[in-house]
Structure 1
Amino acid sequence: MDGGSDDNTFQIVKDLQNSGFKQIKWFQNSDLGVYDAMNRGLREAKGKWIYFLGSDDWLYENHTLESVSVALSNTHFNVAYGDVLIHGDSDWAKDQEIYAGEFDVFRMLKKNICHQSIFYKREFLNFHHIQFDLSYPINSDWDFNLKCCAKTKFIYLNKIIANFSSGGLSTNSKFKDSFFEEIPIKYKQLFPSKFRVFAWNLKNKILNI
Structure 2
Amino acid sequence: MFTIITPTFNSEKTIERTLKSVLSQTYKNFEYLIIDGKSTDNTLNIIKSYETKFENKLKVFSEPDSGIYDAMNKGIKKASGELIGIVNSDDFYEPDALENVFKSYDFDSKYQILYGFERITSGGVEKAVVIYNHRFLDEKMITHPTCFVSKNIYEDLGLYDTQFKSSADYEFMLRIFHSDNKVTFTPVYRVISNFELGGMSSTEIGVRETAFLRRNYGIINTKKYLVIVLRSYIHSLFTVKNKF
Normalising by structure 1, report the TM-score: 0.76
Query: In 1, are the aligned partners of 2:100 and 2:188 still within 8 Å (CA)?
Result: no
Identity of aligned residues (%): 26
Question: Given the alignment of the two structures, is residue 68 of structure 1 paired with residue 97 of structure 2, yes or no?
Answer: no
| Counterpart amino acid of residue 67 in structure 1 | N
SS at match of 2:117: strand
Instruction: Provide the aligned length of Structure 1 versus Structure 2.
Output: 184
Q: CA deviation at 1:204?
A: 9.4
Across the aligned residues of Structure 1 and Structure 2, the Cα RMSD in angstroms comes to 2.6
Stretch moving more, 75-84 or 40-49: 75-84
Residue in 2 that maps onto 1:191: none
Question: Given the alignment of the two structures, is residue 44 of structure 1 paired with residue 81 of structure 2, yes or no?
Answer: no
Deviations 1:2-52 (A, max 9, x none): 112234433344343324520211110111111111111111111111100
| Counterpart amino acid of residue 127 in structure 2 | Q
d(CA) in 2 for partners of 1:115, 1:132: 11
Normalising by structure 2, report the TM-score: 0.66
Q: CA deviation at 1:72?
A: 1.8
Stretch moving more, 149-158 or 31-40: 149-158
* Among candidates 94, 98, 111, match of residue 129 of structure 2: 98
Query: In 1, are the aligned partners of 2:146 and 2:192 still within 8 Å (CA)?
Result: yes
| Counterpart amino acid of residue 143 in structure 1 | E
Residue in 1 that maps onto 2:212: 181
Residue in 2 that maps onto 1:91: none
Q: CA deviation at 1:70?
A: 2.4
Query: In 2, are the aligned partners of 1:86 and 1:99 still within 8 Å (CA)?
Result: yes
Larger RCO, structure (CA 8 Å, separation 6 or more) = 1
Structure 2 unaligned regions, length at least 5 = 1-34, 229-244
SS at match of 2:211: helix
Q: How does 1:129-140 map to 2 (within 5 A)?
A: 130-140=158-168
